[in-house]
Chains A and B, each alone.
Chain A
Amino acid sequence: DTGVSQNPRHKITKRGQNVTFRCDPISEHNRLYWYRQTLGQGPEFLTYFQNEAQLEKSRLLSDRFSAERPKGSFSTLEIQRTEQGDSAMYLCASSPDRVGNEKLFFGSGTQLSVL
């Protein structure tokens, strides 16, 4: 068990550019979540997957955001035409079964800075 892995750890981009983050969940975990955390705030739910199916999306997830989880393994989160307001820590978490919340394992996050 190597934990939830997120890459890159840090990303600096210019406004208007596209960025993509990757999350590798713990093996065999069928649920995968994305959260966003801005400075001075707690994490906010963005979306989650049950295997390869994206089952829920927050209203925070604008049209510029898209998440995928092909084959129910790793997941990617893409932000198109980044804006300065997208600067945040993007956290990924996974859980092994339907009792999801009590066994939510978080990665260390990807820190995005949009200049």
Chain B
Amino acid sequence: AQSVTQPDIHITVSEGASLELRCNYSYGATPYLFWYVQSPGQGLQLLLKYFSGDTLVQGIKGFEAEFKRSQSSFNLRKPSVHWSDAAEYFCAVAPGEYGNKLVFGAGTILRVKS
């Protein structure tokens, strides 16, 4: 069965500092990987996705993520965090591009201090 681990429940970074949120997955085949962001009172918004090809993927809002098969990881990064990035971030895996359901990690809450 697929599973996703986000080791950090909370992360606090200073505005302008770099950010890395960790995600490890367990899946037998090549996974389809996603990062979503959820702000209070808002629905989940897709930041970026990896299906195949270049292992470094660019997303919205200046985020990027790198797929590392050898480490079963798909970490999310941003070079300079803005206060508006404070939210909860979820990594998710799907069994395929036509998969019917996503398996989400437990999420990482990002706090940004000024």
Contacts and interface: CB of A to CB of B under 8 A. Distances in A.
A109 B43 contact: yes
A43 B99 CA distance: 16
Contacts, number: 64
A45 B20 CA distance: 27
A56 B95 CA distance: 14
B86 interface: no
Interface string A92-106: 010000111110111
Contacts of B44: 43, 91, 93, 106
B99 A42 contact: no
Interface stretch (B11-19, B62-70, B71-79, B102-110): B102-110
A108 interface: yes
B41 interface: yes
Contact of B90 (A40, A43, A56, A108): A43
Nearest to B107: A42
B51 interface: yes
B107 A41 contact: yes
Interface residues of B, number: 27
A109 B90 CA distance: 16
B94 interface: yes
A91 B43 contact: yes
A103 to B, nearest CB: 8
Given A42-B4, A101-B94, A33 B106 contact: no
B80 to A, nearest CB: 26
Given A55-B100, A101-B49, A106-B44, 7 more contacts: A40-B106, A40-B107, A42-B104, A43-B104, A44-B104, A101-B102, A106-B36
Interface of A: 3-4, 33, 40-45, 48, 55-56, 58, 91, 93, 98-102, 104-109
Q: Across chains A and B, which 8 residue pairs bring their CB atoms closest together, nearest first? A: A42-B104, A106-B43, A45-B101, A106-B44, A101-B94, A108-B43, A42-B90, A43-B104
